[in-house]
Amino acid sequence: NQENGSSQLRVLPAQKLRSYLKQKLPEYMVPLTYVLLEDLPLTANGKVDRKALPVIDFGSLSQDFVAPETATQKELAHIWVQILDLEKVGIHDNFFDLGDSLIATQIVSRICDTFEVEFPLINLFESPTIQELSNIIDNMIWADSATVSGDRDILESGEI
């Protein structure tokens, strides 16, 4: 707004903005951090110049870092670090605070390949932390191995 030749900027506290957005958006779409800009940088074509936007160090935003402990957690952390280009990730870090939903398909694809499970994309949206995902994956692996060993028992008893 231009009033009396000076620009007025209405600043909303980040917590209030976050609270409002949580009511309107799914959790994975609520930004972790906010940057106040007077104007968006534009390219010569009038589009947002993403390269000129301020860079946010998402690695420093991680709170209460808890290192991965189990083999599954360590492997998931390794996947996230590689795909999200981070130095480290904790088991309570929320995927959508560190990356965006477009990268989610890469994470899920790598999970399927690494753990040899069918892992629906919705799992990442519903359980966006390494701790939650590792529990799901461990249960999937356990269920698969129980099914395989159960099949062997049936075959063995049927052969007798």
Domain containing 18 — which CATH number? 3.30.300.30
> Tell me, what CATH number does 146's domain have?
1.10.1200.10
In this structure, the answer to whether residues 102 and 134 fall within a common structural domain is: yes
More confident residue, 4 or 96: 96
* Domain final residue pick, 40, 56, 72: 56
In this structure, the answer to whether residues 32 and 76 fall within a common structural domain is: no
In this structure, the answer to whether residues 73 and 122 fall within a common structural domain is: yes
Residues in the chain: 160
In this structure, the answer to whether residues 84 and 42 fall within a common structural domain is: no
Please, which pLDDT band fits residue 1 given cuts at 50, 70 and 90?
A: very low
pLDDT score recorded for residue 11: 62
In this structure, the answer to whether residues 23 and 100 fall within a common structural domain is: no
**Pairwise CA distance, residues 52 & 116, whole Å:** 40
pTM over 0.85: no
Q: Dihedral sign, CA of 82, 88, 90, 94?
A: negative
Average pLDDT over residues 140-149: 79
Digit-coded pLDDT (tens) for 61-111 = 556 789 999 999 999 999 999 999 899 999 999 898 888 788 999 999 999
More confident residue, 23 or 136: 136
Count up the domains in the chain and report the number: 2
Amino acid 67 reads: A
* Domain final residue pick, 23, 38, 56: 56
Highest mean pLDDT among 29-43, 104-118, 142-156: 104-118
**Pairwise CA distance, residues 76 & 82, whole Å:** 10
Please say if the pLDDT value at position 133 is more than 90. Answer: yes
Domain span at residue 13 reads 1-56
In this structure, the answer to whether residues 76 and 155 fall within a common structural domain is: yes
CB 121 within 8 A of CB 140: no
* Domain final residue pick, 17, 32, 56: 56
In this structure, the answer to whether residues 48 and 69 fall within a common structural domain is: no
Region of 63 (left: φ > 0; alpha: ψ -120 to 50; beta: rest) is: beta
In this structure, the answer to whether residues 156 and 122 fall within a common structural domain is: yes
Selection from 103, 97, 86, 93 nearest residue 134 by Cα: 93
SS (H, E, C) 41-69: CECCCCCECHHHCCCCCHHHHCCCCCCCC
pLDDT score recorded for residue 69: 96
In this structure, the answer to whether residues 88 and 160 fall within a common structural domain is: yes
pLDDT score recorded for residue 150: 55
In this structure, the answer to whether residues 119 and 68 fall within a common structural domain is: yes
